[in-house]
Amino acid sequence: MASDVILETGKDLNIKSKPLSGFSKWWAKNRTGYLLMLPFLILFSIFICVPVGVSFGLSFTSYNMIQPPRWVGLTNYRNLILDDDIFLIALKNTLIFSCVTGPLGYVMSFLVAWVINELKFRKAFALAFYAPSITSGIAMSVVWLYFFSSDRYGFVNNLLINLGIILEPIMWNLNSKTIMPVIMIVSVWMSMGTGFLVTLAGLQNVPRELYEAGRIDGIHSRFQELWYITIPMITPQLLFTAINTIVGSFGVFDVAVSIAGMPSPNYAGHTIVAHLYDYAFIRFQMGYASAIAMVLFFLTFVLGRVSMKVFASRDT
């Protein structure tokens, strides 16, 4: 009996385990990482992927939230581009707004972070510059409307009148020529917070040894350090800030509506998101609003890919 047990045990020890398949090897190696990513992937799919897919499908339909969606093909896109003059005005306003506030806010957040990183009380300055970004856009617009009030008691009008530059107060939020500049000023001030904070974090993580090595190699000025050492080392932060700035500039809505109203005079402050809001939540034409949303998604996606190409690491 004992010999039989020994023989059986020997047989078991000589049995070789079957080799794992390609997927089994991959899963055994990466399952921990994917299980940790699972909560994010589930939420990302529910709140990002599914809404984008549903919006894409509805953009080819006529849907008013009462009757079932009716397939219309490319009619919404054709009407949007060829027949909707207000959308073309909103597209022009959004592009002008993005071309001005995007690069301006991006450069200013980087320069402010670079300067504050060299100061002693940088934490206090960082809090002062980050605070506007965590404040509601409507609340900030109310504060800025005091500065750009259309009467004589507005801060800017009062200052210009006392200096003799103007004789009558300027209707900042009623004049179609001044509405967009005011929206840009408020938006640039609010957009610097997140980009500034991310850039400042990147600057603080640059090893000081690199600057010492740069001085040995012939770098003598701060601007040379900035160009040859600092910018290459904070490329990921610059990429994040660029994409965040693009998305924020194309998604302007609450500031524009708070300052200029909806609709604004001569649609001077009308943006793509305001146009989307008009058709989705006022007229309840969800099919047409989905087409607007897909155009906005395409614009931000393309510009985001361009930013990734520009700031992509040379090592990848």
pLDDT class of 18 with cuts at 50, 70, 90: low
For 290, other C-beta atoms within 10 Å of its C-beta total 24
**Vertex 80: Cα angle to 78 and 83 (nearest 5):** 80
How far is residue 103 from each of residues 2, 30, 182, 186, 255, measured CA to CA in Å? 83, 40, 17, 15, 19
In the CATH hierarchy, which top-level class contains the domain 63-136+171-310? mainly alpha
CB atoms near residue 217 (< 10 Å): 8
Q: What is the pTM of this model?
A: 0.79
CA distance 270 to 257: 8
Question: HSE on the CB side for 207, CA within 13 Å?
Answer: 5
Domain boundaries, the chain: 63-136+171-310
| Torsion angle of the four alpha carbons 131, 133, 137, 139, in this order, in degrees rounded to the nearest 10 | -10
Tens digit of pLDDT for each residue in 255-289? Answer: 888 888 888 888 999 999 999 999 999 999 999 99
pLDDT of 122 reads 78
- Average confidence (pLDDT) over 109-123: 83
CA distances from 309 to 128, 144, 235, 298, 316 (A): 33, 37, 12, 17, 11
Q: Which residues of 114-140 are buried (b: 16+ CB within 10 A; e: fewer)?
A: bebbeeeebeebbeebeebbeeebeeb
**Whose CA is closest to 84, among 302, 288, 309, 314?**
288
The secondary structure element, H or E, covering residue 261 is none
pLDDT band for position 20 (50/70/90)?
Answer: low
Work out the percent of the chain whose per-residue pLDDT is above 70.
91
Average pLDDT, the chain: 83
More confident of the two residues 210 and 316: 210
What is the per-residue pLDDT across 52-89, written as a single tens digit (0 to 9) for each?
Answer: 999 999 999 999 888 899 999 999 999 999 999 999 99
State whether the Cα torsion 124-126-128-130 is positive or negative.
negative
d(CA 79, CA 82): 5
pLDDT recorded at residue 213: 85
- Residue 61 sits at φ, ψ, to 5 deg, of -130, 170
